Structure 1
Amino acid sequence: MSFVTILAEWFSRLHFLAALAMFFFIALMVLEEDRFIRALMLLPVVLFYTLSKVMYSIDQKASTDRIVEKYKKG
C-alpha cells in the first residue's frame, strides 16, 4: 500500500467530523448577532471546507491508484 492510500484511509475517518464541525460553526454564525464574531466564525468554516476538499482529492488519488494496480495485475 502506498503512502497516499494509507493517508486517504486515515482522512476518510476524519471527513465526517470535519463536515459536522463545519455545520456546527455555520449554525453558530446564524445564531450570533455580533458581526465581528460572525466574521471570526467564518474562518473555521473556510478551513474545514478546504480540509474537506483536500481529503476528497487524496481519496480520489488513492482510488485511482487502486484501479491502476488492479488493471496492472489483470
Structure 2
Amino acid sequence: MSYFDLHAKHTIIGGTVFSALPNIGSDQFVTTFIMAVFGAMVSFMASLVLKKVYQIIQIRLKRKTKKETP
C-alpha cells in the first residue's frame, strides 16, 4: 500500500469520525460505546464456539476415515 493510499484512508476515516462526534450526545455516545463492547465480546465468543465446533467435526471425520480404511 502506497503512502498516498494510506494517507487518504486515514483522512477519510478521521473526517468521518470527527464530523459525527458533534452530532452525537453524551448519553448516545455512552450507549454506543457499551453496545460496541458488548458486540465485540459476543463476536469473540461466537468465534471461539465455532472454532471448537470445527475442531470437533475435524476429529470425528478423521476417526471415521480411519475406521473405513482397511
**TM tier, smaller:** 0.5 to 0.7
TM-score scaled by length of structure 1: 0.53
5+ residue gaps, structure 2, are: 1-16, 66-70
Once the two structures are aligned, what percentage of the paired residues are identical? 11
Q: Larger C-alpha radius of gyration, 1 or 2? A: 2
Gapped regions of structure 1 (runs ≥ 5)? 1-26
How large is the RMSD of aligned CA atoms in angstroms? 1.9
Q: Which structure is richer in relative contact order (CA contacts within 8 A, separation 6 or more)? A: 1
How many residues were matched structurally?
46
Provide TM-score, normalisation by structure 2: 0.55
Q: Which residue of 2 aligns with 1:53?
A: 44
Inter-partner Cα distance in structure 2 for 1:58 and 1:64: 10
